[in-house]
Structure 1
Amino acid sequence: MTTIAVTTPTGHVGAHVVRLLVQAGTRPVLLLRDAARLDPDLLPYVQVREGDLHDRDYVVRATEGVDALFWVDPTDLTVDDPNASTRELAEHAADAVRRNTISRLVLQSSVGAERRQGVGLIDGLGAAEDILGDTGVDLLVLRCGYFFTNLLDDIDAIRGGVLPTAMAPDRRLPWVAPRDIGDVVAANLLSGRPGRRIQGVHGPEDLSFSDVARTVSDVTGHPVAVHHVEDDELFAMLTSVGLGKRAAQGIVGMTSGIRDGFVPEQPRDAVTTTPTTLAAWAYEELRPALAPR
């Protein structure tokens, strides 16, 4: 049976991937810093290899005997240069692929990575696509839309009736449920399909922040209005809460880089469209988070 390794197995995508792999009868290898964060019910069905992805030797050791790897960059906003960190971790993964003759790799990337430059923190993912592509391994790059779960990062603002964004309020882009990304990841890790591909994961429809505010208001019963902020205002907000200059610039750049005239390289079609609507996700996850404490 194919041995599959999963990074960030407690994240919004990774946790779903792990459960699907276990339910499919595999015993995945999990790379993570702290096994205590795992659901204890999963422990009999997985192989835990604790360590830090920033440690090249750990990544190589932890993927020994692995046939397929799901690679996610756990973007570290505490370092001086998050994009340099993303590139470094991709080099660690590439080294592991070569030294352990891993045959298949699924990379979680982002819409916008096709631009390679000028998209803030997404530039690091564009570099990771190139670094891992150079290994010659069978590679699936998933260019994912904006996560619904990013709304949870703004929960306090939303609780106050505001949805802040530096994006033009009516600019529509792909939004996606991380669970749906996990479905696509697991299906491809289990299929063993050879070759190199880039695939979009775009959710059921393109949404603007105005669309999102209306849906959130309707589903949760909690009125929310979009508050547009300028780039310099967003930068000041981010640095005021302790983010370093490059991290803050990277977050601002993600929005400014796809704000005007950008069209994802992968078109919306039957392959890139996934089923979970924002309304369904908001009812299940956002509504309880907004409930009175």
Structure 2
Amino acid sequence: MQDSEHLEVAWVEITGEKMTKAELYAVTGVSGRTGAATAQALITAGKQVRVVVRDAAKGAYWQQQGAEVVIADLSNAAMLTNALSGVTAAYIVSPPQYSQPDLFAQAEVMANVIADAAVAARLPKLVALSSVGAEQASDTGWITMNRTLEQRLSQTDLNLAFLRAAYFMENWQPLIASARAQGELASFLAPLERKIPMIATQDIGEIAAQVLCENWQGTRAINLTGPADYSPHDVAQHLAAQLQKPIAAVAIPESDWQQAMSGQGFSPAALSGFITMTQGLNSGHIAFNNKDSNEQRIGRITIETVFKQMNELI
């Protein structure tokens, strides 16, 4: 019997009550937006946090915040099993590798490793970042990677929560500099007047932290949206107010998408996946179904707030 087990038996003999083990939450993806927001929300709430990073340098900040740092690669089952062992719950972000020619095959490899490691670690609860449209079997491009993770995890007996997030508000950030210079906000989304749900990554992280601390059994799918839906025209108006200059939304013709995305390090497969995903968003194939039975969580952060934060960073 291990020392911790001796201690628990002794406590029961003295008090008649079972000891409650300290809760510890593992968070992956802390180098990205949602993982960082999740870890920070948990730390702010006074929770014990274990951040999972690929190299020690990426964990230095979190160590200063009082988090435990564990080195693991999501493609290494033994390392990830160790990282997930002994925790109350874990937030998982399977990182897409857009420069890889086989990014969809790589997503499947990581899904298998994540599922195997979580089972081997006897993880009580797992919260995974997913996406709107992950329930669709085809024609979703990049979102296929989220579906792959959902399906593989669903083959286990783990208690799961899939966070199907709306379009990230931060997706507009790469377009701000040209909008400021040219007075036009280029948009892959069309038609320009159609509103779709969007959410700030900060909201995703804060909701993930909340869900990690909840008790449930089985599998949950949770739709995540922001406090309002926005069209490209709306986005341009809010950006104009932030930049204090006229900004007009302009649709990028589909025939120009490939050229517009060139030079950003995407592999041909990744570029094709982006185009298919964007076509699905514009056609409505990728959208929340108001008739589904999924839970829904609504964030608090508006696109005005996100643009203000972006403008301060640019």
TM-score, normalised to structure 1, is 0.90
| 1:245 CA drift (Å) | 0.8
- The residue that corresponds to 1:107 in the other structure is 128
User: Is 1:82–1:121's contact at 8 Å kept on the other side of the alignment?
Assistant: no
- The residue that corresponds to 2:119 in the other structure is 98
Q: Which of 165, 168, 182 is the equivalent residue of 2:187?
A: 165
User: Is 2:98–2:265's contact at 8 Å kept on the other side of the alignment?
Assistant: no
Aligned AA for 2:79? Y
Whole-angstrom distance in 1 between the partners of 2:62 and 2:77: 30
The more displaced of 145-154 and 42-51 is 42-51
| 1:54 CA drift (Å) | 2.4
Whole-angstrom distance in 2 between the partners of 1:276 and 1:123: 27
| Corresponding pairs, count | 289
> Does the C-alpha gap of structure 1 residues 58 and 232 become closer, same or farther in structure 2, counting only changes over 3 Å?
farther
Whole-angstrom distance in 2 between the partners of 1:51 and 1:228: 42
Q: Which of 189, 213, 219 is the equivalent residue of 2:212?
A: 189
After TM superposition, the structure 1 = structure 2 runs for residues 132-281 of structure 1, keeping only pairs within 5 Å, are 132-160=153-181, 161-168=183-190, 169-262=192-285, 263-265=287-289, 271-281=296-306
> Does the C-alpha gap of structure 1 residues 223 and 75 become closer, same or farther in structure 2, counting only changes over 3 Å?
farther
Whole-angstrom distance in 2 between the partners of 1:113 and 1:270: 15
User: Is 1:239–1:245's contact at 8 Å kept on the other side of the alignment?
Assistant: no
- The residue that corresponds to 2:74 in the other structure is 53
| 1:149 CA drift (Å) | 1.5
Aligned AA for 2:298? T
| 1:188 CA drift (Å) | 1.0
User: Is 2:102–2:269's contact at 8 Å kept on the other side of the alignment?
Assistant: yes
After TM superposition, the structure 1 = structure 2 runs for residues 72-91 of structure 1, keeping only pairs within 5 Å, are 72-91=93-112
Whole-angstrom distance in 2 between the partners of 1:243 and 1:140: 30
The more displaced of 82-91 and 182-191 is 82-91
User: Is 2:222–2:295's contact at 8 Å kept on the other side of the alignment?
Assistant: no
**Deviations 1:107-165 (Å, cap 9, x if unpaired)?**
11111112131111001111111111111211111110111122223233233233222
> Does the C-alpha gap of structure 1 residues 275 and 44 become closer, same or farther in structure 2, counting only changes over 3 Å?
closer
- The residue that corresponds to 1:68 in the other structure is 89
Whole-angstrom distance in 2 between the partners of 1:38 and 1:157: 34
**Deviations 1:27-86 (Å, cap 9, x if unpaired)?**
211111234335636436211112322223322222222231111122111111222222
Secondary structure of the corresponding residue to residue 31 of structure 1: strand
Secondary structure of the corresponding residue to residue 115 of structure 1: coil
Secondary structure of the corresponding residue to residue 135 of structure 2: helix
User: Is 2:81–2:120's contact at 8 Å kept on the other side of the alignment?
Assistant: yes
The more displaced of 229-238 and 144-153 is 229-238
Question: Identity across aligned pairs (percent)?
Answer: 27
> Does the C-alpha gap of structure 1 residues 228 and 193 become closer, same or farther in structure 2, counting only changes over 3 Å?
same
Whole-angstrom distance in 1 between the partners of 2:134 and 2:119: 24
Whole-angstrom distance in 2 between the partners of 1:141 and 1:149: 21
User: Is 1:175–1:206's contact at 8 Å kept on the other side of the alignment?
Assistant: yes
In structure 1, runs of 5+ residues without a counterpart are none
Whole-angstrom distance in 2 between the partners of 1:136 and 1:9: 26
Aligned AA for 1:190? C
Secondary structure of the corresponding residue to residue 259 of structure 1: helix
The more displaced of 158-167 and 142-151 is 158-167
Secondary structure of the corresponding residue to residue 45 of structure 1: coil
User: Is 1:106–1:185's contact at 8 Å kept on the other side of the alignment?
Assistant: yes
